[in-house]
Chains A and B, each alone.
Chain A
Amino acid sequence: MDKNILLQTKIGDLFVTHPYTKDFFTDHLIPYIGKENKTIEDFFKYLDLEIIEDKAINIELFINSLVEYIELMSTYFVSEKETKNTVTIYPGLHKNGTPENFDFIEITKGEIISIVGPTGSGKSRLLADIEWAANGDTPTKRKILINGRTLEPHERFSASNKLVAQLSQNMNFVMDLSVYDFLDLHASSRMVEDKEDMIKKIFDKANHLAGEQFSKDTPITELSGGQSRALMIADTAILSKSPIILIDEIENAGIDRKKALELLVSEDKIVLMSTHDPILALMGDKRIVIKNGGIDKIIITTKEERNILGKLEELDKTMMSMRNKLRHGEKIIFEEEL
């Protein structure tokens, strides 16, 4: 919106045409209430000096910010026109400066890639390269292409269109809200239209993943570890705009990991998972092996490995059922279970 046009717009009219600007006025402590029929220019012209000083209002900065904000929000509504389908990693350097030995790695929507390697081997750096869509300008000199092209700087560093969403078992909920209010807040901040449907969908999926059911009235900070993780995964899969999900160690998360991955993939996410859990690693289509700060090799999950996965999953199921028995106060008879 042109600044001069904006200045001549009545505050109340602006709230009607651009509803989110009302919060913007409120967040900037602008005392507009009762003055909605004034144009923005007149409103500030007659604003009491003491109020300006008291609320730390800088009129010029506020108006410029308002113009920027309207611009930003309008890009926010249309920016989903390009879906991100592929991520391509081009080789860079190991920590000691030798080049990485692969041509390129292409990851497609709906694929699951595991990242394995000892602690400190360079996993975080790879994840950061992907997060910032490195363009030969990070310490590894790797290049990350999205949909086959390098991103423009404004795309790489846009806070509202972040490429990557992250999940890890160190993450906790910190807000003082019930499950429903929390989902409502997130959905509102994303400005989705079918909010109630979205909330219901996430809530149902989260309960589907969690070992123990929870209600919409539960404060999010009171959820168990497994329930929190389930809600985080369902919420990230369905409501987060980021096309790529980085998962860092969800081994002991107390949720149905297979269902969790299926949910993420079914929502068309590109899933990268840093893990040492054989079940999770083998669920991946490929494994990226990290060593000495660089990508050492890429292993494609073989048929034999898939067969092993079946056995591992049976073992895992046994563990799960024993866990459930314990939870419900039953006795465990080992031989029978095996």
Chain B
Amino acid sequence: MDLITVSGPPSSGKTSILLRTIENFIKRNIKVGVVKFDCLFTDDDILFAKLGIPVKKGLSGSLCPDHYFVSNIEEVVEWGLKEKVDILITESAGLCNRCSPYIKEIKAVCVIDNLSGINTPKKIGPMLKSADIVVITKGDIVSQAEREVFTMKVQSVNPKATIMHVNGLNGQGAFELSTFIHNDQVHVETLEGRTLRYPMPAALCSYCLGETRIGKAHQMGNVRKIDLSDKNG
């Protein structure tokens, strides 16, 4: 079973791109399974199920979504093996821009859209920097020049990645993406012992544990203060 991790900012078009790409796998008789990670709510599993493929969703609720992802990925892989899929795709939103759910030696795809602003590639951090493939969406509604500038910005943050422009609405480029993200020589049996490409940010303070009161007296653990002194201004 090949494993592919897909992530990207909310509303960048991850699900649309995956739906169009999976349609191409189905046409080639390749069996795909999807696990959708989200925070509070998602209906996207229904869209995947409509394609007639096995799908599961995981909502992190009150936990940090990327931490939730790592704590569950091993079980997710077991599920994929049980379903006997050829490709297992995980989809998760990078919600805080500092995390990235990518695992060493597992194909990592980042989806980012042209509308998000030219400074976004710089802001996204590890999720974009360490991806193998960067898919840029919504190119059909911005100008050629903006697409070119945006591509350059992505390239300057991640020069190693293969950058593809895919249209999630009409599927232009989805076939090409499907040939890129899947390698039938990859056989993932377990993730035991594998490591993340990036450490996730440290966070263990009183608020992690359910504290709601504001004020120094209630803050414990990993707390850092914003610099509001005059020295820079």
Contact = CB atoms under 8 A, between A and B. Distances in A.
A72 B115 contact: no
Nearest to B154: A159
A131 B149 CA distance: 19
B160 A28 contact: no
A232 B145 contact: yes
Interface in A34-76: 53, 56, 58, 61, 64-65, 68-69, 71-72
A173 B198 contact: no
Nearest to A182: B145
A58 B130 contact: yes
Nearest to A187: B145
B173 A170 contact: no
Contact of B142 (A29, A139, A174): A174
Contact of B143 (A61, A65, A189, A232): A232
B231 interface: no
A303 to B, nearest CB: 35
Interface string A230-243: 00100110011000
Contacts of A28: 129, 157
B152 to A, nearest CB: 4
Interface string B115-137: 10110011001100110000000
B72 interface: no
A29 B27 CA distance: 43
Contact of B198 (A56, A159, A190): A56
B126 A56 contact: yes
A167 B170 CA distance: 16
Residue of A28, A68, A159 with most partner-chain B CB within 10 A: A159
Residue of A29, A128, A165, A185 with most partner-chain B CB within 10 A: A128
A168 interface: yes
Given A65-B160, A132-B176, A159-B163, A189 B149 contact: yes
User: Interface residues of B toward A: which range?
Assistant: 35 or more
Interface string A177-200: 000001001100110000000000
B74 interface: no
Interface residues of A, number: 48
B148 A58 contact: no
Interface string B176-205: 100110000000000000000111011000
Interface in A93-132: 124, 127-128, 131-132
B15 interface: no
Contact of A174 (B114, B163, B171, B198): B114
A164 to B, nearest CB: 10
B151 interface: yes
B159 interface: yes
Contact of A171 (B126, B141, B176): B141
Contacts of B98: 56
In the A-B complex, the 6 residue pairs with the smallest Cβ-Cβ separation, listed nearest first, are: A159-B163, A69-B159, A68-B159, A189-B152, A186-B145, A236-B144
Given A27-B122, A138-B176, A171-B144, 9 more contacts: A68-B159, A69-B155, A127-B172, A159-B164, A170-B141, A171-B143, A175-B118, A185-B149, A190-B148
17 contacts: A27-B122, A27-B156, A56-B126, A61-B129, A124-B172, A131-B173, A157-B176, A159-B154, A159-B164, A160-B151, A166-B140, A171-B140, A171-B142, A172-B141, A174-B141, A175-B146, A239-B145
